Structure 1
Amino acid sequence: MESIERGWHGAPGARLRVGRAIGAWLAMVLLLALSTSCARDDPEAALRARVASLAAAIEARDPAALQQHLAEDFIGNDGLDRNGARRLAMGFALRHREIGLTLGPLDVDMAPAHATVRSKAILRGGSGRALPDSAQVYDVESGWRLEDGEWMLVSAGWKPAL
């Protein structure tokens, strides 16, 4: 019993070291939680998350999910409207069993309730083989507007980069 008690209490200062380690761990978790909550309030972080969500909808071959990111007055290349963008995505999804989208670094210009995002994008389509059937690199510029707390894509322009 004596050895168990000695092991429980440990050497002098052991409980203090364990207490400090737990305190440091709790402080780190608290700082991480605070930084995460601040990021949610950050308009640029929310916009970047929205861009990632749009890219995921494209890769998932989900035109309806893509359309949910588009403002009612969306305009794209050559007068493409919101419904036209959905039809374009449906056509690409019908041609390709797998779709890949890789975005380069996002260049974000923020303004109150508006933003412009520029990036390179690689769009790939394939039938499931090791190499894609088609791939193209684009320069993309998109305009975003904050509507009811949600970033909506208002305009998009793209042109082949190569």
Structure 2
Amino acid sequence: MPQPRPRFASWLMLLAMTLVLVAFSGCKRDAPEEAIRAQVTALQAAIEARSASDVADLLDEDFIGPQGMDRRGARQTAAVLMLRHQRIGVVTGPLDVELQGADRARVRTRAALTGGDGAALLPDSAQAWRIESGWRLRGDTWRITSLEWTPALQ
């Protein structure tokens, strides 16, 4: 079976990083920020459960990723990575949530994915990433509208 392209692993890592560090809140936060952090936690759970459809459910209908990746392409990329790795863990840094009005936000973090027993970095993406994601409130649910990542160690 061919090796997954680093772009796929990078996308998954980025998505995980951007959306995962939500559980660490020690101070009072605004309701929108709490809701976004909860969605990040849901994304982490979806990645670790290897559920590409649950990952896609968190993406906005207008989602755009690297190189013009749309929602469908993101779901397919996640599915390929999840088929390649029996176990996936997400290691993230703190989330920086910046609200932009009542219905938009920007989230920044750093992250890495683990594979196998949860201790080894995924072989084709042994890299830490800076992740930035855009969010939009649709109805009463925050969804990811954009995702960008760059290597953190350069």
In the superposition, the TM-score normalised over structure 2's length comes to 0.74
Unpaired segments of 5 or more residues in structure 1? 1-37
Is 1:97 equivalent to 2:110 in the alignment? no
1:30-73 superposed Cα distances (whole Å, 9 cap, x missing partner): xxxxxxxx97x711101111111111111111000000000111
Q: Matched residues in 1 for 2:75 and 2:42: separation?
A: 16
Letter in 2 for 1:154: T
Which whole-Å CA distance do the structure 2 matches of 1:97 and 1:141 have between them? Answer: 27
Shift of residue 105, structure 1, vs aligned partner: 0.3
Counterpart secondary structure, 2:82:
helix
1:152 aligns with 2:136: no
Aligned mate of 2:31, from 30, 35, 42: 42
Higher share of residues assigned helix: 1
Between the two proteins, the alignment pairs up a number of residues equal to 123
In 2, are the aligned partners of 1:124 and 1:136 still within 8 Å (CA)? no
Distance, in Å, in 2 between the alignment partners of 1:76 and 1:129 is 26
Return the alpha-carbon distance in structure 2 between the equivalents of residues 125 and 86 of structure 1. 19
User: 1:100–1:123: 8 Å Cα contact kept in structure 2?
Assistant: yes
- For residues 6-30 of structure 1, the C-alpha deviation after alignment (integer angstroms, 9 at most, x for no partner) is xxxxxxxxxxxxxxxxxxxxxxxxx
Which blocks of at least 5 consecutive residues in structure 2 are unaligned? 1-27
Amino acid at match of 1:78: Q
Q: 2:114, 2:120 within 8 Å by CA — same for their partners in 1? A: no
Once the two structures are TM-superposed, the CA of residue 161 in structure 1 deviates from its matched residue by 1.3
Q: How does 1:1-162 map to 2 (within 5 A)?
A: 42-111=31-100, 112-126=102-116, 128=117, 131-134=120-123, 135-162=126-153
Instruction: Find the residue that maps to 2:120 and give its secondary structure.
Output: coil
% identity of equivalent residues: 48
* Residue 125 (structure 1) shift: 2.2
TM (normalized to structure 1)?
0.70
Change (3 A) 1:148 1:159: same
Structure 1 runs (4+) deviating above 2 angstroms are 128-136
Letter in 2 for 1:123: L
**CA distance in 2 between partners of 1:130 and 1:110 (Å):** 34
Cα RMSD of the aligned pairs, angstroms, is 1.8
